[in-house]
């Protein structure tokens, strides 16, 4: 699918509005505000005929099941990817290795969630291109640092399929103080549905009973996302 989509015209990064370009967004907002695809696009720098660099980054993440899978890809595997080649593959592997070394140097440090944008920066690149709905939970400690990220469900989202017990079971096992849930809309439109709001309301209520706060529910589309907490959907009185 990705290669077929690449045949359609896409604006180059230089043709994008200045505020939407990855490097300009990084300079204005800082690296934490960028999606994983945008950060990879900055490393790769340029696209290839008919496919801009942001599209290449999204394709790589989708094909390798996210940043973790991409980090496991060998140099020969990356070189064969359309629009990558030896130089870009080396640049990408160098950047990923720097990330690994940083984690190894500070194993006790965990990402801290301060805003919905922090959650989006972690998940949009991985979940925005999925062809099936995925429902994920981030488990947080008392300082809102991420303890774990866990896939709970695949498939169309509704109240009967998303079981409250499954969402909170891992939180209880890890002694999490709070959690954030997120799911994607394969259509690309992150507008929350009535089912999304109902699931959120049910989770918030259960969290109050269990003493585990549900901080937010993000709906993720193609490079876009919506925070139900920010919109007050499902969090009435929370």
Per-residue tokens: 151? 């896939």
Q: What is the mean pLDDT of residues 2-21?
A: 66
Give the integer Cα–Cα distance in Å for 213 and 51.
42
Average pLDDT, the chain: 85
- Residue listed under structure tokens 């695949």: 154
Q: What is the mean pLDDT of residues 65-79?
A: 86
- pLDDT for the residue numbered 5: 45
Q: What pLDDT, in 10s, does the model give residues 162-210?
A: 678 888 988 998 899 999 999 999 998 999 999 999 999 999 999 999 9
* Domain ranges in the chain with CATH number 3.40.140.10: 116-231
Domain boundaries 116-231, corresponding CATH code? 3.40.140.10
Q: What pLDDT, in 10s, does the model give residues 26-35?
A: 898 888 788 8
Does residue 96 contact residue 71 with C-beta atoms inside 8 Å? Answer: yes
Between 106 and 144, name the one with better pLDDT. Answer: 144
Task: With cut-offs at 50, 70 and 90, classify the pLDDT of residue 126.
Answer: confident
Instruction: Indicate the length of the chain as a whole number.
Output: 238
pTM (two decimals)? 0.57
User: For the purposes of burial, counting CB atoms within 10 Å of the CB of 4, is it exposed (0-12), middle (13-18) or buried (19 or more)?
Assistant: exposed
3-state secondary structure of 200: helix
Percentage of residues of the chain with pLDDT beyond 70: 88
């Amino acid at each position: 699918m990705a290669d077929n989509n690449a045949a359609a015209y896409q604006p180059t990064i230089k043709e994008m509005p200045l505020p939407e370009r990855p490097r300009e967004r990084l300079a204005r907002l800082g690296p934490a505000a960028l999606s994983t695809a945008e950060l990879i696009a900055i490393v790769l720098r340029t696209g290839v005929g008919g496919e801009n660099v942001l599209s290449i980054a999204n394709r790589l993440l989708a094909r390798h099941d996210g940043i973790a899978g991409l980090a496991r890809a060998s140099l020969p595997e990356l070189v064969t990817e359309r629009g990558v080649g030896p130089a870009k593959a080396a640049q990408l592997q160098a950047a990923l290795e720097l990330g690994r070394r940083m984690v190894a140097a500070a194993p006790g440090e965990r990402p801290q969630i301060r805003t919905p944008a922090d959650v989006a920066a972690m998940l949009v690149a991985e979940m925005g291109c999925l062809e099936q709905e995925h429902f994920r939970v981030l488990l947080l400690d008392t300082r809102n640092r991420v303890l774990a990220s866990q896939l709970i469900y695949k498939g169309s989202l509704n109240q009967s399929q998303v079981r409250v017990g499954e969402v909170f079971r891992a939180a209880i096992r890890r002694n999490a103080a709070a959690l954030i849930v997120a799911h994607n809309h394969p259509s690309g439109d992150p507008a929350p549905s009535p089912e999304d709001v109902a699931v959120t309301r049910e989770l918030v209520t259960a969290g109050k009973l269990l003493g585990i706060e549900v901080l937010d529910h993000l709906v993720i589309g193609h490079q876009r996302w919506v925070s139900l907490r920010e919109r007050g959907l499902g969090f009435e009185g929370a």
